[in-house]
Amino acid sequence: MRKLYKDSLLVFLRSKNLSIPYFALLALTLAYFGFCFNNYLQYSEIFSVAMWLVRPCIFLIAFFIYCSYELAIKMYDNNMVEYLKIYGQGLWKAYGAIILCLSTIVAIPSIMFFAFVVFMYYYIDVYYLPFLIHLMKLSVLYFGLSFIIGMMLGTAMAAKLKNKRLAVYGFAVIFMLLNTTFTEAPFRIPYLLFNSYRTERMLYYIKDFLTVVPHELGNNFTIAPIYGFPMEPIRWILAVFWGLFPLTLILTECFNRKTKKALIAASCLMVLLVIGLFSVRGSTLIMDMRVDSYPFADPIYYMDSPREAYDGYEAGFIVEEYEMNLTISNELHAEVEVTIDNRDLDNYEFTLYHGYILMSVGTEDGEIPFTREGDYISIESLNGADRVIFKYYGKSPKFYANRQAIALPAYFAYYPKAGRTNIWDLDRYGYVVNISPNESDYTVNIRSDLEIFCNLAGSNNSFRGKSNGVSLFAGMYEEIAENIYAEPMRSDLPKREYIREAQEILIDIFNRLERPEPESVILFSDKRFFQMPQNFSLNSNTDDTVVMSDHITSVFCNNGPELAENIMESIIKPKANIWFRGGYLSYLFNRQDESDPLVQSAVDLNLLLEEIDEWRSLAGKFSDMNGEKRKNVSEKDRATRIADERRRYDINQIVNEKAAKYLFYESPRKEENLRIFFDYFTSESEEDYLGLVERLVREELEHDRN
């Protein structure tokens, strides 16, 4: 075999159409490493470098398809197959030698990539072992197995399609395109034609099955350091499958009919098995433009669902105790026992995110009937029991829980929460922060290969304590300082001094407002701090920073002032437009941009009042507009509606920015206005904030006239 291998290698090296491009590729790879290294020197973002590194992966795979096909096809081009077949397993030996030779060809760039990532790891000087392991796995899976897939596909196409180069390169191009974001536009066509996402989902299902790269060419989403590159078990299974399946195709060419039949049967079984496993792949982090991708899945789901408003909903009971037994494998499998304080209700309502499939609800006496409607579970009677056991499994597109990473913040209903609460706020475009006003006793036991970090005390993935929610994080995640948990590979790591500074700023702010500090702010610097993945704010405006009874989750913590402002934002209720609230906070924290023309010019109060009226009139036109009605608007009305909406959007920003600027910066009564609005934002008042703005502005106008 060594001789055959050596000769195959000689054939490769002496073929100008193979060796010249190959050595050019090696040279280009080295140059590309230089580019990536330079990128790190400029920006010091290791994940950005890693993303650059994996981007050309599909080109390398395509190159290896070309190399392997052109090498293997030489046997057919030179009419060798017929006589090779008659020597005992001669063709298989020849293929074996070619595969071995190609493995060597592939191994060189693989080793180069591996060496480069290891070099980068030591160069960045972080010494976080899970990251090194992640990089090594990345190299094996995407710079090793993926290249082998290219090699095997090329060889298999030579065996099966023989000299039909057009078909071979056609398939190769399709394969390449399926590993890029090129498919976004064509895959959206069925939706545009039939107004249904079903076909798009099916097309993406097929695309995912063929995806062999970690980050598609053209994908501009960043990689979350807690999660890293996708390397869930299904990715490994797919990689092995795409390596073995072509091998079975090659073998069918090499053996006689009986063995051929057995091989076909084996490959069919393999296909069925992998499709089966692929269908139950569970929680994965999808980041592209498809409808199921995490930035869009929930917004689209809740936009299409009828609007529900459960603000102020009273459950009628409190969950005193949670006993949670979670298994986090490819997705979340949970058995959650809740103890409630009120046995006498006719109906019990719970909220559990709709992505979790409820298998049963029961008490100690057995299963009890329930109804599930989206995010809500209704139980008619507990038959006097005070303990309810929920068994469910499933996933959320955003709040993942799998073998690679876990990000389950306490405010997300991944376990049953008392009563009906909204999950998504359409108006503010973000997740509703669902925190219980009451603390419960939690016992949480988790079966997972990952080391999980939780706001409760405990070790070995078992936690216990009292809180108003349980947050779970795992992956490339660490306790980087006492009670501060973060993704060590991020450059904007939280620090204890930032948190202390934020607390001091907040105390000053409350002194300025002449208001007592809320409970959540008192000693918050002693709470456990969990840094959330940076890209979590991609699809949500509402949960950047959430303060819970014993811990804080925050996406950003670059400095004290920013954190203080984020915490204040989480304290005040979302009762005003985002521009107005943003303005309020920036003036409250003296963060206004003095060079901004708006800040420099004086607000014309009469014009402001006129614009408020105009905005109200435009807003009235769309108050009952929902997704369904939007679809049914006639062509004639569409242009008018679009123009009105554009004007409303423009005027909305102008009105809110001007109002905030005047009331909290320009007005002689600005301190009082800040207090009035603080009270308004923290009260249960349902008054329209623009009404309050209007009232205050008119009062000032009156005052000026007098």
Partner 1 sequence: MIVINNLSKRFRKKEVLHSINLQLENRVYGLLGANGAGKTTLIRCLAGLYEPQHGEMLYNNEPIHKSKSFRQDLGYLPQAFGMFQELTLYEMMDYICSLKNIAKSKCASEITKALTSVNLENKGRDRIKTLSGGMVRRAGIAQAILGDTKVMLLDEPTAGLDPSERARFKNTVNALKKDRTILISTHIVEDVDACCNSVIVIDEGQVLFNGSCEELRNIAINKVYMINEADSDSIVGEKFILKINEIESKIFYRILAKEKQEYQSEKPNLEDGYMCLVKGLA
Query: How far is residue 196's CA from residue 188's CA, in Å, rounded to a whole number?
Result: 10
Instruction: Give the single-character DSSP code of 227.
Output: T
Stretch that binds partner 1, among 3-11, 125-133, 200-208, 599-607 (CB under 8 A): 3-11
Question: Which of 7, 519, 526, 687: binder of partner 1 (CB under 8 A)?
Answer: 7
Residues touching partner 1: how many (CB under 8 A)?
25
Two structure tokens written together for 671: 């301190």
Give 5 or 622: the residue with its C-beta nearer to partner 1.
5
Query: Least distance from C-beta 73 to partner 1, angstroms?
Result: 12
CB 135 within 8 A of CB 119: no
Give 23 or 43: the residue with its C-beta nearer to partner 1.
23
Helix (H) or strand (E) holding 326: strand 319-328
Query: Least distance from C-beta 165 to partner 1, angstroms?
Result: 17
Q: Please, is 636 exposed, middle or buried when counting C-beta atoms within 10 Å of its C-beta (0-12, 13-18, 19+)?
A: exposed
Give 260 or 428: the residue with its C-beta nearer to partner 1.
260
Query: Between residue 69 and residue 108, which ones bind partner 1 under the rule CB under 8 A?
Result: 74, 77-80, 82-88, 90, 93-94
For position 256 contacting partner 1 by CB under 8 A, the verdict is: yes
Give 49 or 75: the residue with its C-beta nearer to partner 1.
75
Give 76 or 556: the residue with its C-beta nearer to partner 1.
76
Query: Least distance from C-beta 101 to partner 1, angstroms?
Result: 12
Query: Least distance from C-beta 261 to partner 1, angstroms?
Result: 12
Give the up-direction half-sphere exposure of residue 493: CA atoms within 13 A in the CB hemisphere. Answer: 19
Query: Between residue 448 and residue 507, which ones bind partner 1 under the rule CB under 8 A?
Result: none
Q: What residue type is 171 in one-letter code?
A: F
Query: Least distance from C-beta 104 to partner 1, angstroms?
Result: 16
Question: Which of 11, 61, 159, 474: binder of partner 1 (CB under 8 A)?
Answer: 11
Query: Least distance from C-beta 35 to partner 1, angstroms?
Result: 34
Binding-residue pattern over the window 543 to 582 for partner 1, x denoting contact by CB under 8 A: ----------------------------------------
Query: Least distance from C-beta 244 to partner 1, angstroms?
Result: 25
Q: How many Cβ atoms from other residues are within 10 Å of residue 41's Cβ? A: 10
Residues whose CB is less than 8 angstroms from the CB of residue 47 and which lie 6 or more positions away in sequence, other chains included: 222, 223, 225, 489
Of the candidates 349, 360, 346, 353, the one whose C-alpha atom is nearest the C-alpha of residue 318 is 349
Query: Least distance from C-beta 89 to partner 1, angstroms?
Result: 9
Query: Least distance from C-beta 249 to partner 1, angstroms?
Result: 19
- Kindly report the backbone phi and psi dihedral angles of residue 206, in degrees, each rounded to the nearest multiple of 5, phi listed first: -65, -45
Give 73 or 563: the residue with its C-beta nearer to partner 1.
73
Of the candidates 149, 129, 123, 135, the one whose C-alpha atom is nearest the C-alpha of residue 53 is 135
Give 18 or 418: the residue with its C-beta nearer to partner 1.
18
Order of strands across the sheet with 376-379?
371-373, 376-379, 348-351, 417-418
Residues whose CB is less than 8 angstroms from the CB of residue 678 and which lie 6 or more positions away in sequence, other chains included: 513, 515, 572
Query: Least distance from C-beta 161 to partner 1, angstroms?
Result: 19
Query: Least distance from C-beta 77 to partner 1, angstroms?
Result: 8
Query: Least distance from C-beta 67 to partner 1, angstroms?
Result: 14
Give 15 or 305: the residue with its C-beta nearer to partner 1.
15
Give 88 or 312: the residue with its C-beta nearer to partner 1.
88
User: CA-CA-CA-CA torsion for 405, 408, 413, 418, nearest 10 degrees?
Assistant: 130
Give 69 or 242: the residue with its C-beta nearer to partner 1.
69
Query: Between residue 637 and residue 666, which ones bind partner 1 under the rule CB under 8 A?
Result: none
Strands 387-394 and 332-340: antiparallel
Q: Is the dihedral of CA 155, 160, 162, 166 positive or negative?
A: negative
Query: Least distance from C-beta 100 to partner 1, angstroms?
Result: 13
Give 78 or 195: the residue with its C-beta nearer to partner 1.
78
CB 154 within 8 A of CB 162: no
Residues whose CB is less than 8 angstroms from the CB of residue 616 and which lie 6 or more positions away in sequence, other chains included: 690
DSSP three-state, residue 18: helix
Q: What residue type is 278 in one-letter code?
A: F
Give 19 or 483: the residue with its C-beta nearer to partner 1.
19
Give 18 or 58: the residue with its C-beta nearer to partner 1.
18
> Which bin fits 436, alpha (ψ -120 to 50), beta or left (φ > 0)?
beta
Residue 686 sits at the vertex; the CA angle it makes with 683 and 688, to the nearest 5 degrees, is 115
CB 662 within 8 A of CB 699: no
Question: Which of 10, 30, 31, 210: binder of partner 1 (CB under 8 A)?
Answer: 10
| Chain position carrying tokens 């050596």 | 6
Query: Between residue 13 and residue 42, which ones bind partner 1 under the rule CB under 8 A?
Result: 14-15
Query: Least distance from C-beta 235 to partner 1, angstroms?
Result: 37
CB 455 within 8 A of CB 548: yes
Give 82 or 508: the residue with its C-beta nearer to partner 1.
82
User: CA-CA-CA-CA torsion for 440, 445, 451, 452, nearest 10 degrees?
Assistant: -20
| Chain position carrying tokens 């994080």 | 473
CB 544 within 8 A of CB 556: yes
Stretch that binds partner 1, among 9-17, 288-296, 358-366, 546-554 (CB under 8 A): 9-17
- Kindly report the backbone phi and psi dihedral angles of residue 327, in degrees, each rounded to the nearest multiple of 5, phi listed first: -120, 120
Contact positions vs partner 1 (CB under 8 A): 1, 3-4, 7, 10-11, 14-15, 74, 77-80, 82-88, 90, 93-94, 256-257
